[in-house]
Amino acid sequence: MKVFLFDLMHYKGDLDRFAVDGVLPHRLGRRHFDAQAAIETYAQHLDAWEEMERVGFDGIGVNEHHATPFGLMNSPNLLAAAAAMRTKRMKILIYGNLLPLHEPLRLAEELAMLDCLTGGRLIAGVARGAQREYRAHNVAMGESRARFDECVDIMRRAWTEEVFSYQGQFHSYEDVSIWPRPVQDPHPPLWVPVTGSKDSIEWAARNDIAITPGVSAAGTAREDIIRYYAQCQAEEGRKVTPGHLNFMVDCYVADSKAQAIKEYGPHYMYCFNTLIKYDHPTQDFNQKGYYSQTAHEHMRSGAKGTLADISMFNSRMTEEGLKAQAEHMAWGTPDEVVERIITEADQAGAETVLLMCNRGAMPQEMFLNQIRRLGAEVLPRLQAHKVTRVPFAEGVGAGV
Amino acid sequence: MKVFLFDLMHYKGDLDRFAVDGVLPHRLGRRHFDAQAAIETYAQHLDAWEEMERVGFDGIGVNEHHATPFGLMNSPNLLAAAAAMRTKRMKILIYGNLLPLHEPLRLAEELAMLDCLTGGRLIAGVARGAQREYRAHNVAMGESRARFDECVDIMRRAWTEEVFSYQGQFHSYEDVSIWPRPVQDPHPPLWVPVTGSKDSIEWAARNDIAITPGVSAAGTAREDIIRYYAQCQAEEGRKVTPGHLNFMVDCYVADSKAQAIKEYGPHYMYCFNTLIKYDHPTQDFNQKGYYSQTAHEHMRSGAKGTLADISMFNSRMTEEGLKAQAEHMAWGTPDEVVERIITEADQAGAETVLLMCNRGAMPQEMFLNQIRRLGAEVLPRLQAHKVTRVPFAEGVGAGV
């Protein structure tokens, strides 16, 4: 297996002191911002990525968020450029640029530059983004799908054609040859997270793009997504392999489950009760045309358990609830962490795992300690494990 | 004085082999692109910037170009992020982001991130850009000024207001608080190159923004620009100081003028005869509404000697012409280089010089050698020199 760390890069400053009845103000403004905390956030995370490479991680994942201390990577591409300087071997996964919010030609140029700056180590994840980002950048959520599709078309043509012209719904270009071009041929791999929408699965399958199926292993969503993806891939004459799949998992290594909960619990709760809640969606995505009418019809649970299910943003995590939840998580001894991850990888048939181990703006020493323990006690066993089959894809399309 | 190096970051690959009768194809496409050359271009320049800091430079300047091997910095912000990792002390001057081609909120976010990533070392230069960039990104040149103004307004409000809303001609935003904010208070310094346009001078003076007056010391353009800038600053009740002014100068250190010409000449000519000529403007800027009707009326020479004067793109540099030109340039012994730069700095009254010493994709050893010689033989004397007055600004506004 390949092991990446997915870094959320929360702002380091303490925000709970601004909360009223446990809720942050509608907007955190300039007066709430501590520049020193932001400087430290970036510096410490970049130090940590350097350490990740030393201890053997296969890749670092970054993402795009706007106008929130939940994540300081408004431009994940800037962090990828910085990471390119701090690492020599690891893959750099941008997961992902929120395509509907980008000018496609500029994004194609940036990703081409990053592929050169990393010497071909870029994985160019693409995503649609959440309500907050659309609101900040004033893009209609109902245009999300059309903008996404157009952006990918333009990027691929800018990367691969000698000279391209394009007449789109949102963007048009004439007689353009970008310079530089990507290093990887024909272009950096695209990955896409599939949090539930049928249209995303069909698009990924049609374009043979690797997916992250579902936000967790809970329920039947992941299975339904993989089955439908395999079916769509079969229609294109392709089989889904472990290389097509990756998954995210929360983990924390400690000497025992109890110690993990004691150490990591407060940070994990800060992530869910404070950071995620800031400027959280108050209206259902479905109201805005973000999801199509049929987006969830391939799933037995419908939208439940997907990102369209906003109930997850409206509940408050308690210590008791966390303890119960942690029983089933990859928190605890290295043995437990390894076994849970391998079980989940084998179930999904996924070759790559994206670990999340630093929720809640933990102190740097704690983050570095996790990276070192993961490197010494978890990575070698995961990297030695080989995922050979995709169980949910077996039999699919056999009759086609 | 403060000494920056302004890096053009030409693509390293040899392009002359694609030339027909000394002219490159209308478009260099994918088949002309050598990924290894691009990888080396970035890697070597970043190595050189690290060396610059070691030998004592005050800053590194980068710029934005699109769709041309003349400069690989489609996003100068990505290079600034990389430079932030490779340096600890030097200022990082982006000179500049081409505002009319950017989505203003995203640019404000990126520059805020860069100010954090550099620990407050960012100078956020702003510019309008050349015809090629507008064509590639399909932005009307006639909208250049309005888009520029709107972009600056939006960035400043995003940086400084608690929460901002904006209804513009091109971009609108509602109830946005970006996160992170800049480190520098109220925001990173803005610099603007003034290549001749009256409107740019008025805008810079109104906003007390430092300028680079004119593309060279030749003729009367620089004097006219500084006088008019001083007059406009006086109307705001301010005096122009050496801190308001900087200038670019081509230099090359060698043991003699003849040696400089022999070593640097071929590269300098490659820059002007091949790189600058690629996809060069074929129509006058003035035809497209880029300059206002009155843009040059403050200058005795009119548009001549400014970037609006396209005759400079249509002539071919010869060895003989270069030799004659080099007589008056800061090429030669350290003494000559120092003396010419100090003379020009004192004439302009400019505190900062932006050196250009690596035109024409010279070999890395030659570039590093220049950096080291400049560091050892030129920088200490320039940095010891103090520019105390702005001669062209004296007396201006005294009667107001």
Query: pLDDT of A99-138, one tens digit each?
Result: 999 999 999 999 999 999 999 999 999 999 888 899 999 9
CB contact under 8 A, A72 and B113: yes
- The span from the CA of B398 to the CA of B396, in Å, is 5
CB contact under 8 A, B79 and A81: yes
Give the gap in angstroms from C-alpha B94 to the nearest C-alpha of chain A: 14
B138 touches chain A (CB under 8 A): yes
Residue B379 pairs with which residues in a beta bridge? none
Q: Which residues of A touch B85 (CB under 8 A)?
A: 46, 82, 85-86
Residue A267: its H or E element: helix A257-270
CB contact under 8 A, B39 and A68: no
- The span from the CA of B302 to the CA of B311, in Å, is 14
B38 touches chain A (CB under 8 A): yes
Predicted structure pTM score: 0.96
The structure tokens listed for A232 are 């769509």
Q: Are A64 and A32 in contact (CB under 8 A)?
A: no
Omega of the bond leading into B186 within 30 degrees of 0 (cis): yes
- The span from the CA of B37 to the CA of B11, in Å, is 7
- Among B384, B388, B94, which Cα is nearest to B243's? B388
B181 touches chain A (CB under 8 A): yes
Structure-derived torsion over alpha carbons of residues B17, B18, B21, B24, reported in degrees to the nearest 10? -130
A62-106 pLDDT, tens digit each? 999 999 999 999 999 999 999 999 999 999 999 999 999 999 999
pLDDT confidence tier of residue A288, bands split at 50, 70 and 90: low
A186 touches chain B (CB under 8 A): no
A151-179 pLDDT, tens digit each? 999 999 999 999 999 999 999 999 999 99
A334-381 pLDDT, tens digit each? 999 999 999 999 999 999 999 999 999 999 999 999 999 999 999 999
CB contact under 8 A, A180 and B109: no
**What's the pLDDT score for residue B21?**
85
> Within 10 Å of residue A395's Cβ, how many Cβ atoms?
10
- The span from the CA of A341 to the CA of A226, in Å, is 18
Fold of A2-393: TIM Barrel (3.20.20)
**Residue A319: exposure state from Cβ atoms within 10 A (0-12, 13-18, ≥19):** exposed
**What's the pLDDT score for residue A283?**
55
Number of H helices and E strands in chain A, helices first, is: 13, 11
**What's the pLDDT score for residue B233?**
97
A372 touches chain B (CB under 8 A): no
Q: Which residues of B touch A75 (CB under 8 A)?
A: 77, 106, 109-110, 113
Give the gap in angstroms from C-alpha A184 to the nearest C-alpha of chain B: 9
A177 touches chain B (CB under 8 A): yes
Question: In angstroms, what CA-CA distances link B242 with B50, B86, B346, B394?
Answer: 28, 29, 9, 12
What is the value of ipTM here, to two decimals?
Answer: 0.96
- The span from the CA of B202 to the CA of B196, in Å, is 11
- Among A272, A263, A238, which Cα is nearest to A393's? A238
Q: What angle do CA B96, B163, B159 make, to 5 degrees?
A: 20
What is the phi/psi pair of residue A158, to 5°? -60, -35
The residue with greater pLDDT, A296 or B212, is B212
**What's the pLDDT score for residue A307?**
63
CB contact under 8 A, B78 and A33: no
**What's the pLDDT score for residue B400?**
44
Q: Which residues of B touch A135 (CB under 8 A)?
A: 174-175
The structure tokens listed for A225 are 């997504």
Residue among B27, B86, B173 whose CB faces A138 most closely: B173
Residues 52-91 of B with CB under 8 A from A: 66-69, 72-75, 77-79, 81-82, 84-86
A15-59 pLDDT, tens digit each? 999 998 878 999 999 999 999 999 999 999 999 999 999 999 999
A206 touches chain B (CB under 8 A): no
Give the gap in angstroms from C-alpha B62 to the nearest C-alpha of chain A: 15
- The span from the CA of B390 to the CA of B376, in Å, is 28
What parts of chain B have a pLDDT lower than 70?
Answer: 281-288, 303-313, 397-400
SS (H, E, C) chain B: CEEEEECCCCCCCCCHHHCECCECCCCCCHHHCCHHHHHHHHHHHHHHHHHHHHHCCCEEEECCCCCCCCCCCCCHHHHHHHHHHHCCCCEEEEEEEEHHHCCHHHHHHHHHHHHHHCCCCEEEEEECCCHHHHHHHCCCHHHHHHHHHHHHHHHHHHHHCCCEEEECCCCEEEEECCCCCCCCCCCCCEEEEECCCHHHHHHHHHCCCEEEECCCCCCCHHHHHHHHHHHHHHHCCCCCCHHHEEEEEEEEECCCHHHHHHHHHHHHHHHHHHHCCCCCCCCCHHHHCCCCCCCCCCCCCCCCCCCCCCHHHHCCCCHHHHHHHHCCCEEECHHHHHHHHHHHHHHHCCCEEEEECCCCCCCHHHHHHHHHHHHHHHHHHHHHCCCCCCHHHCCCCCCC
The structure tokens listed for B364 are 């890395």
**What's the pLDDT score for residue A400?**
44
